[in-house]
Amino acid sequence: MQKVDILKKMEKTGVVAVVRGASKEEAYKAAKACIDGGVKGIELTFTAPEADKIIADLKEDYKDDPDACIGAGTVLDPTTARIAIMAGAEFIVSPSFNKEVAKLCNLYEIPYTPGCMSITEIQTAMTYGSDIVKVFPGSVVGQGFVSAVKAPFPQVSIMPTGGVSLDNMEEWFDKGVTLVGAGGNLVGPAAKGDFEQVKKNAQAYHAKLEEIRSK
């Protein structure tokens, strides 16, 4: 099944780079820098200009890389979700839960990862077929929230986003998350045009992930 294969690929990436950008070029170059640095999971947000075209370009660029996993972020409605999926997005991420987006993603066998801040939201998302739940903002709910959720829902896969850094990434994994989303701490230098630093940051995140998984 396509959805199962994508979920396995998402889990393998371990780190998903949340890529925004003031221009199409900035977002595109930031995403490439992340992938070239070893962070193969990309959440290209629809706050970036021409996000669907960037997704299509990245899919073409890395069609021969079996580990590259290109998804769409900040997807607020089913119309945007379908545009992203038609452009080639392998997963859909939202800052909040939307049942119509969930149903559309289920129809196309595409993983839907909505942002949740409560047990009720997580249960609703799981009921509508979300296999990975985004705990967002991670800096607000904190790592203890993951432990609390895992008690009644040991089967849930969690991706914290917002507040994940190199310094605390291992603590998040120790709490039981499946993967993490990294934004400004990873791709921040792109806003100044420093894509080489983004690549170096990605290399550091990849190395840290390998270290965590080797323990």
> Which token pair is 215?
């323990």
- Residue 215, pLDDT score: 85
Domains of the chain: 2-214 (3.20.20.70)
Per-residue pLDDT of the chain (215 residues; tens, 9 = 90+): 799 999 999 999 999 999 999 999 999 999 999 999 999 999 999 999 999 999 999 999 999 999 999 999 999 999 999 999 999 999 999 999 999 999 999 999 999 999 999 999 999 999 999 999 999 889 999 999 999 999 999 999 999 999 899 999 999 999 999 999 999 999 999 999 999 999 999 999 999 999 999 98
List the catalytic residue out of 26, 32, 40, 43: 43
pTM above 0.95, yes or no: yes
Task: Please report the pLDDT score of residue 79 as a whole number.
Answer: 98
Q: CB 27: neighbour CB atoms within 10 A?
A: 26
Q: How far is CA 177 from CA 5, 57, 80, in A?
A: 19, 30, 27
Active site residue 103: no
Rounded CA-CA distance 35/215 in Å is 24
Tokens matching residue 29: 């170059």
Annotated catalytic residue within 3, 9, 32, 134: 134
Residue 42's nearest CA partner among 53, 52, 34, 54 is 34
Cβ-proximal residues to 211 (8 Å cutoff; 6+ apart), any chain: 170
Known catalytic residue at 134? yes
Q: Cα(55)–Cα(192) distance, rounded to whole angstroms? A: 22
Q: Would you state the pLDDT for residue 6?
A: 97
DSSP one-letter code for 116:
E
R_g of the chain, CA atoms, integer Å: 16
In the chain, DSSP assigns E strands to 15-19, 41-45, 69-73, 92-94, 112-116, 132-135, 157-160, 180-182
Q: Write out 137-151 in H/E/C secondary structure.
A: CHHHHCHHHHHHHHC
pLDDT at res. 12: 97
For the beta carbon of residue 47, count every other beta carbon within 10 angstroms. 13
Count the neighbouring beta carbons within 10 Å of the beta carbon of residue 213: 9
Q: Which residues pair with 44 in a beta bridge?
A: 19, 72
